[in-house]
Amino acid sequence: MSDLIVQRPEGLYCPPGDFYIDPWRPVARAVITHAHSDHARYGSGHYLASAPAEGVLRTRLGEIDLQTLPYGERIQHHGVTLSLHPAGHVLGSAQVRLEHGGQVWVASGDYKVAPDPTCDPFEPVRCDVFITESTFGLPIYRWCPDEELFADINNWWARNVAHGRASVLCCYSFGKAQRVLSGVDPSIGPIIVHGAVRPLNEAYRAAGVALPETRMVTEVQDKADLRRCLVVCPPGAAASPWLRRFGDAQTAFASGWMQVRGNRRRGGYDRGFVLSDHADWPGLLQAIDATGAQRVIVTHGSSDSMVRYLCDRGLQAASFETEYGDDAVEADLQAGQEGAA
């Protein structure tokens, strides 16, 4: 029995359906799991994505031939039954379920199982073969509850306000920034966002996600506000002249890579907060177990370690070589692995 998903130079390909999932080269038909730039790239002829992803996809890719599908609704294409199911990663993120010839495969894209008010929660999907990410596929990666994390962030911000300093929190503009905004306490002070964050906020709000009021730095008239604000920006902004507007600010980075001692110091940040839109080690194992799959294919991240662990547990495990992670996690990779930005 032939595989429903195989590797090709353009990306992950479904031979009976004649379409790709998150291709990294332009193709005729692309099914997109989510709008991060390593999974959703411009240039393909036709795109299929979840309905909640439409706003962020159009914000990032502009005018594209986009077909949307509500979560759970099934369609047929060349005899392949396809449906999309929440992945819990970012707004509109989806797992792709394929059924054909008596087989069920699920390609998860990126996902997390922890609750997140900015997107639909992860939905386990039973299948024969599960394609999983492994960005944080090592036992050292274990996230604390959001309540503890955001209490820590809010206390840091409040202490900086008491000392008359801005709090600059660096994170990826899509997904992470909106999750930060949904968790902080806006009563502490004004919130300023970088220009890269603002259009994504608007897409989230248009999709019905509640976010606190934010301003651009050019909209701030009272200079005192610049000394007590929370600034949410991509890491590149922290290394640019843009940051000088906030004077003697405290800087922090929000990333799962902050779990590793030394990454904050190498990145040059005053603080590091462990916050990720990917599943941690227990979350990955929980998601894999919930599928009931006996065959697991591991993609980007700590794939070799994950494959060895799953094989030791008696599963049939292997890996796919992909180009995921190159662009969309730029902020995480630079701070966590290179120490830049």
Is 1 part of any domain? Answer: no
Which of 217, 243, 273 is a domain's end point? 273
Is 172 part of any domain? Answer: yes
Is 334 part of any domain? Answer: yes
- How many residues are listed for the chain in this entry? 341
Three-state DSSP state, 298: strand
Look at residue 265 in the predicted model and tell me its pLDDT. Answer: 67
Is 32 part of any domain? Answer: yes
Q: Are both 218 and 231 inside the same structural domain?
A: yes
Q: Are both 136 and 154 inside the same structural domain?
A: no
Which of 273, 295, 311 is a domain's end point? 273
Look at residue 240 in the predicted model and tell me its pLDDT. Answer: 87
Q: Are both 52 and 129 inside the same structural domain?
A: yes
Which of 273, 291, 314 is a domain's end point? 273
Q: Are both 303 and 195 inside the same structural domain?
A: no
Q: Are both 121 and 167 inside the same structural domain?
A: no
Is 99 part of any domain? Answer: yes
pTM confidence score: 0.93
Look at residue 332 in the predicted model and tell me its pLDDT. Answer: 38
Query: What tokens were used for 25?
Result: 């080269």
Is 303 part of any domain? Answer: yes
**Structural domain of 203:** 146-273
Local confidence pLDDT in tens for the 341 residues of the chain: 799 999 999 999 999 999 999 999 999 999 999 999 999 999 999 999 999 999 999 999 999 999 999 999 999 999 999 999 999 999 999 999 999 999 999 999 999 999 999 999 999 999 999 999 999 999 999 999 999 999 999 999 999 999 999 999 999 999 999 999 999 999 999 999 999 999 999 999 999 999 999 999 999 888 888 999 999 999 989 888 999 899 999 999 999 999 987 776 667 899 999 999 999 999 999 999 999 999 999 999 899 999 999 999 999 999 998 988 744 444 433 333 322 22
Q: Are both 230 and 316 inside the same structural domain?
A: no
Could you give the strand order of the β-sheet that contains 103-107, starting from the edge strand earlier in sequence? 75-77, 80-86, 94-100, 103-107, 129-134, 295-301, 316-319
Residue closest to 257 by CA, chosen among 269, 241, 273, 234: 273
Q: 174: domain CATH number?
A: 3.40.50
Q: Are both 136 and 150 inside the same structural domain?
A: no
Q: Are both 246 and 286 inside the same structural domain?
A: no
Look at residue 267 in the predicted model and tell me its pLDDT. Answer: 74
Calculate the alpha carbon distances from 236 to 101, 177, 248, 266 in Å: 48, 14, 18, 15
Q: Are both 15 and 130 inside the same structural domain?
A: yes
Look at residue 263 in the predicted model and tell me its pLDDT. Answer: 73
Per the structure, the count of domains in the chain is: 2
Q: Are both 260 and 284 inside the same structural domain?
A: no
Q: Are both 168 and 248 inside the same structural domain?
A: yes
Q: Give the burial string for 166-198 (b: 16+ CB within 10 Å, else e).
A: bbbbbbbbbbbbbbbbbbbeeebbbbbbbeebb
Q: Quick one: 36 exposed, middle or buried, by C-beta within 10 A (0-12, 13-18, 19+)?
A: buried
Q: Are both 99 and 203 inside the same structural domain?
A: no
Q: 298: domain CATH number?
A: 3.60.15.10
Q: Give the burial string for 51-81 (b: 16+ CB within 10 Å, else e).
A: bbbbbbbebbbeebeeebbebeeeeebeebe
